[in-house]
Amino acid sequence: MKRPIKVHCVSLGCPKNRVDVETMLGCVPEGVAIVAEPGLAELVVINTCSFIAPAVEESVRVIVETAEAIRDLSPRPRLAVTGCLPARYGEELRRELPEVDLWGLPSELDLLPGRLSRAVRGQAAPSRQGGEKAGGQPCGERLISTPPGYAYVKIADGCNHACAYCTIPSIRGRLNSRPAGDIVAEARGLLARGVSELVLVAQDLTAYGRDLGVKNGLQRLVEQLLGLSGLAWLRLLYLYPSGLDEGFARFLASAGPPLLPSFDIPFQHAHPDVLTAMGRPRSAPPEAILERVRRHSPEAAIRTTFITGFPGETPRRFQALCDFVAASRMHHVGVFPFSPEAGTRAVTLPGKVSRREALKRRETLMAIQAEISAGILSGYVGRTMRVMVDAPHPEWPGLFVGRTWFQAPEVDGVTYVSGPGVETGRMVSAEIVESKDYDLVALAEG
């Protein structure tokens, strides 16, 4: 048996990106052994994001810093850069960063395990025209780089929407849904390995199956997943407002556990003129979507994201957004200042808002949400809830970082939990004893 390759991996960006690198490394022919430091590795993989300018800057910074850190090592680990950054800036990056040994595109995910293996052995990767075959290498289990209790399951890639600010279709292509049978088999395998929370991700979950000619594709998929043995929580991320029609909202309410009544609905704005300029898929107004969800699921926890400073966001239109957030009282709100991305329609729109003003508006919106979040979380004090334990606290022995049902991993607040039986990967019953603006503190029951 071949010795596993020692790999140090950094995955930047969204959970979909993380799934890509987990799948890729799980299919390296020799297998991989993950190491904590680049200096211990034979291969360093940086999986990049390039959705907006700050993500591009972070990706380039990590590449440069890593290349510098390993430059004088003997033997020097091979450096591979994969993901969305080379898909968006391939030729330019190859010229500017010659220290990178291997570049890999999202569209080449099936080819990358073999290329990584050959890079470590010092062999050049052939071009696709040169006879490289997709899927020819033995493929082992997908790695799990998240804490042991949960894993992401990517059900589709790409997107057919034409939002004016978004680079995803140009990087990832059009909607490409995975066959339901493959998704269910992967989910079953993850649960067999001890995972108890599955988080479904895609650019737009509600679009799942349309490219396959499947009607109500997400509903059908969820119905298949709900009965899987070992599944404690099923979480859905990125439910576009346009996909939350009356019938689907009714289904989500009636499905019951283990489907969580946690709704991630990326509204992006609340004023109709700004939404039109953004090119968002046509849907009912945000207020009507919230009313629909809450009518069917009164206990729903709703998270969303907004963009401030989009071209045409006048002070009056921004005030409408503030009023919407204040009135809606959602559990979680993420806010991003508009980033004008080359190649998108948004850069040509009139009514520019300065970066400084966009950031100021972001702070205003987050201040409104902080007060709302603090009020919502204070209502949980004294209640007993299940907490998924993700990891030990890095500074306080005996204290762990976990999440309740309405706290999605990596994007929401957390629950700090301690007490008997608390350990990483477990689901524990705990009393909420304190609340903060975004986080909870809990004590596990004996």
Under 8 Å CB-to-CB from 426, ≥6 apart: which residues? Answer: 149, 389
pLDDT value of position 181: 94
Determine which helix (DSSP H) or strand (DSSP E) holds 403, and give its type and residue range: strand 400-403
| Range of 71-75, 140-144, 172-176 with top mean pLDDT | 172-176
For residue 337, cis peptide bond before it (omega within 30 degrees of 0):
no
Kindly tell me if the per-residue pLDDT of 50 is higher than 90.
Answer: no
- pLDDT higher than 70, residue 330: yes
Q: What is the dihedral of CA 178, 18, 104, 101, to 10 degrees?
A: -160
pLDDT at 137: 40
> Mean pLDDT in the chain?
90
Mean pLDDT of 228-238: 95
* Alpha carbon distance 322, 333 (integer Å): 12
Q: Looking at residues 37-56, what average pLDDT do you find?
A: 86
Strands 43-48 and 78-83: parallel
Using one digit for the tens of pLDDT, what is the confidence trace for 169-214? 888 889 999 999 999 999 999 999 999 999 999 999 999 999 999 9
Give 6-42 pLDDT, tens digit per residue.
888 988 888 888 898 898 888 888 888 888 888 888 8
Average pLDDT value for residue range 320-345? 95
Q: Nearest-CA neighbor of 196 among 143, 235, 237, 238?
A: 235
Angle between helices 84-96 and 53-70 (to 10 degrees): 50
**pLDDT tens digits, one per residue of 393-445:** 989 999 999 999 999 999 999 999 999 989 999 999 999 999 999 999 999 98
**What are the phi and psi torsion angles at 368 (to 5°)?**
-60, -45
3-state SS of 311-340 is CCCCHHHHHHHHHHHHHHCCCEEEEEECCC
**DSSP summary character for residue 155:** -
Contact yes or no for 156/202 (Cβ under 8 A): yes
**Residue 446 pLDDT > 80, yes or no?**
no
User: pLDDT-based confidence at 129, cuts 50/70/90?
Assistant: very low
Concatenated DSSP letters for 63-100? Answer: HHHHHHHHTT-SSPPEEEEEEHHHHHHHHHHHHH-TT-
Entry pTM: 0.90
Q: What is the pLDDT of residues 336-377, one digit of tens each?
A: 999 998 889 999 999 999 999 999 999 999 999 999 999 999
Residue 85: how many CB atoms within 10 A of its CB?
28
**Contact criterion met (CB below 8 Å) for 389 and 317:** no
Mean predicted confidence (pLDDT) in 326-340: 95
| DSSP string for residues in 353-383 | --HHHHHHHHHHHHHHHHHHHHHHHHTTTT-
What domains appear along the chain, each with residue ranges and CATH number?
5-130 (3.40.50.12160), 150-378 (3.80.30.20), 384-444 (2.40.50.140)
**Which amino acid is residue 422, in one-letter code?**
V
Query: What's the pLDDT at 123?
Result: 58
- Find out whether 181 and 227 touch, Cβ atoms under 8 Å: no
